[in-house]
């Protein structure tokens, strides 16, 4: 690595999205070795009278910024000064949940599809292209390519990219990896995407529903469990069908899905995306090759590629909490042998009123999470209570100046979420 002159310590608090502090010159080595204290109260992680927390870099995540070789970033864990991992740290919550899976012999693998709008700095569309439209009508291809190359340089493989259905909307899909790696990679990919767009004079909007009347942007997650010892895909049954374990995992996600929504679709704007006829889910449903259900089982060509796709998450989700909550739900399904019911085999939007619905606002989703004693226990009572308290504040803040109208994106949302990473 070229001599690093600036190191950015990056971390995810419970809410707020990515946070970062930079260290210069001689401070870098001690920060990498011993960590750096910070004010936990200002990122809503600790009370002001007990606010000092410690950021400890996970050196394995160190990455040089492709656009500036003198600057590197590193993802940090959050510790107390007593030397313990902080129970409200999302990355800790994920590691804890992964350990539980590992004790049962399971390793979770995931890949994420990042959908986003590429806009002018004034937030106008760059093109009127659609699904798979090639360049030059597709005006975002150069950005996608720059981002994919930059991510490759820092060890993040992008499987594919393309223009999405809506005007100026795009997708990049990251190559499958273990869940903690994938959560870190999601953070880095969002960050690199935003920054390279900025360098190119563009604006990338990761908001779930920036424009009414056209598709929003999801962050679908593809998941499977493999055997810790042999690496065998435990979601694969006979041939390329789903195993019983995979069906139970789906059963667990469906069982917890209403509460899960508060974590995987965690903003006011998320619920404007989850409406019919825009390729987003609206119900507690699953099916094969169906883009109207919350869980889709994509067609697989080999045992290794047998997986399930969860379509509720969006890019405002905290990647650590998201993987942790999905895994905890799936494990519950496996432990209790939960039956997901029959695959829907129909268009979920057409028969919407017959199906159990996803929450229709952030407020409703938070009520569900508060009621879900299993998820609270698994993710940590204190962490979930704090999360719900902070997210309720966000919901109330929105309602102070706006009515709930699923068909309007307010200035409040654009201000709050369009810069979100």
The partner in contact with residue 273, picked from Mg ion, ligand GLU, none with C-beta cut-offs of 5 to 8 angstroms by kind, is: ligand GLU
Nearer to Mg ion, 151 or 334 (CB): 151
Rounded to whole angstroms, how far apart are CA atoms 412 and 327? 33
DSSP string, 79-146: E-TTSSB-TT-HHHHHHHHHHHHHHTTEEEEEEEEEEEEEEETTS-BS----TTPPTTT-TTHHHHHH
The partner in contact with residue 205, picked from Mg ion, ligand GLU, none with C-beta cut-offs of 5 to 8 angstroms by kind, is: none
Nearer to Mg ion, 296 or 378 (CB): 296
In whole angstroms, how close is the CB of 291 to ligand GLU at the nearest point? 5
The partner in contact with residue 248, picked from ligand GLU, Mg ion, none with C-beta cut-offs of 5 to 8 angstroms by kind, is: none
Which helix (H) or strand (E) covers residue 68, if one does? Answer: strand 68-79
Nearer to Mg ion, 171 or 177 (CB): 171
Whole-Å CA distances, 153 to 22, 64, 88, 169: 22, 9, 32, 24
Position of minimal CB gap to ligand GLU: 218
Nearer to ligand GLU, 77 or 205 (CB): 205
Nearer to ligand GLU, 216 or 343 (CB): 216
Nearer to ligand GLU, 215 or 261 (CB): 215
The partner in contact with residue 215, picked from Mg ion, ligand GLU, none with C-beta cut-offs of 5 to 8 angstroms by kind, is: ligand GLU
Sign of the alpha-carbon torsion through 410, 391, 184, 296: negative
In whole angstroms, how close is the CB of 397 to Mg ion at the nearest point? 31
Rounded to a whole number of angstroms, the distance between the first and last alpha carbons of the chain is: 26
In whole angstroms, how close is the CB of 247 to Mg ion at the nearest point? 25
- Report the interface residues with Mg ion, using CB under 5 A: 171
In whole angstroms, how close is the CB of 39 to Mg ion at the nearest point? 39
The partner in contact with residue 291, picked from Mg ion, ligand GLU, none with C-beta cut-offs of 5 to 8 angstroms by kind, is: ligand GLU
The partner in contact with residue 279, picked from ligand GLU, Mg ion, none with C-beta cut-offs of 5 to 8 angstroms by kind, is: ligand GLU
Structure tokens that stand for 112 in this block: 């994420």
In whole angstroms, how close is the CB of 164 to ligand GLU at the nearest point? 6
In whole angstroms, how close is the CB of 208 to ligand GLU at the nearest point? 7
Rounded to whole angstroms, how far apart are CA atoms 349 and 282? 7
Rounded to whole angstroms, how far apart are CA atoms 418 and 319? 17
Rounded to whole angstroms, how far apart are CA atoms 46 and 39? 8
Nearer to ligand GLU, 61 or 267 (CB): 267
Nearer to ligand GLU, 184 or 309 (CB): 309
- Report the interface residues with ligand GLU, using CB under 6 A: 115, 215-218, 273, 279-280, 291, 311
Residues near 405 by beta carbon (within 8 Å), at least 6 away in sequence: none
Structure tokens that stand for 286 in this block: 């699953």
Query: 206: burial class by Cβ within 10 Å (0-12, 13-18, 19+)?
Result: buried
Going by C-alpha positions, the residue among 369, 357, 358, 183 that lies closest to residue 262 is: 369
The partner in contact with residue 181, picked from Mg ion, ligand GLU, none with C-beta cut-offs of 5 to 8 angstroms by kind, is: none
Would you call 301 helix, strand, or coil by DSSP? coil
The partner in contact with residue 216, picked from ligand GLU, Mg ion, none with C-beta cut-offs of 5 to 8 angstroms by kind, is: ligand GLU
DSSP string, 181-194: HHHHHHHHHHHHHH
The partner in contact with residue 311, picked from Mg ion, ligand GLU, none with C-beta cut-offs of 5 to 8 angstroms by kind, is: ligand GLU
In whole angstroms, how close is the CB of 312 to ligand GLU at the nearest point? 9
Rounded to whole angstroms, how far apart are CA atoms 56 and 307? 34
Cβ atoms of residues 252 and 330 within 8 Å: yes
Nearer to ligand GLU, 89 or 217 (CB): 217
In whole angstroms, how close is the CB of 277 to ligand GLU at the nearest point? 11
């Amino acid at each position: 690595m070229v001599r690093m002159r600036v190191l950015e310590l990056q971390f995810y608090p419970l809410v707020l999205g990515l946070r970062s502090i930079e260290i210069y010159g001689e401070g870098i080595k001690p920060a990498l070795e011993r960590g750096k204290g910070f004010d936990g109260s200002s990122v809503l992680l600790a009370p002001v009278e007990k606010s000092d927390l410690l950021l400890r870099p996970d050196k394995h995540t160190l990455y040089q910024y492709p656009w500036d070789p003198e600057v590197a970033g590193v993802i940090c864990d959050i510790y107390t000064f007593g030397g313990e991992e902080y129970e409200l740290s999302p990355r800790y919550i994920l590691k804890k949940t992964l350990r539980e899976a590992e004790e049962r012999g399971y390793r979770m693998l995931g890949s994420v599809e990042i959908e986003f709008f590429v806009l002018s700095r004034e937030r106008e569309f760059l093109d009127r292209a659609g699904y798979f439209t090639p360049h030059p009508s597709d005006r975002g291809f150069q950005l996608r390519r720059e981002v994919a190359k930059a991510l490759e340089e820092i060890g993040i493989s992008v499987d594919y990219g393309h223009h999405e259905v809506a005007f100026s909307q795009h997708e990049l899909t990251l190559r499958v990896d273990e869940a903690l790696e994938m959560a870190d990679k999601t953070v880095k990919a969002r960050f690199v995407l935003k920054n390279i767009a900025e360098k190119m004079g563009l604006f990338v909007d990761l908001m779930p529903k920036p424009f009414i009347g056209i598709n929003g942007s999801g962050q679908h997650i593809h998941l499977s469990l493999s055997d810790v010892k042999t690496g065998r895909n435990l979601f694969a049954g006979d041939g390329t069908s789903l195993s019983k374990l995979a069906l139970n995992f789906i059963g667990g996600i469906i069982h917890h899905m209403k509460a899960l929504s508060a974590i995987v679709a965690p903003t006011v704007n998320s619920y404007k995306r989850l409406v019919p006829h825009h390729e987003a889910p609206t119900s507690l449903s699953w099916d094969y090759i169906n883009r109207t259900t919350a869980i889709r089982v994509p067609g697989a060509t080999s045992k290794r590629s047998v997986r399930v796709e969860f379509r509720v998450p969006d890019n405002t989700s905290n990647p650590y909490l998201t993987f942790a909550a999905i895994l905890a739900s799936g494990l519950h399904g496996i432990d209790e042998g939960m039956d997901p019911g029959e695959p829907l085999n129909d268009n979920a939007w057409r028969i919407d009123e017959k199906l159990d619905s996803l929450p229709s606002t952030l407020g409703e989703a938070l009520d569900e999470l508060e009621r879900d004693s299993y998820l609270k226990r698994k993710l940590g009572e204190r962490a979930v209570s704090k999360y719900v308290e902070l997210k309720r504040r966000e919901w109330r803040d929105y309602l102070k100046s706006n009515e709930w109208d699923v068909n309007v994106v307010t200035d409040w949302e654009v201000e709050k979420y369009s810069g979100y990473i």
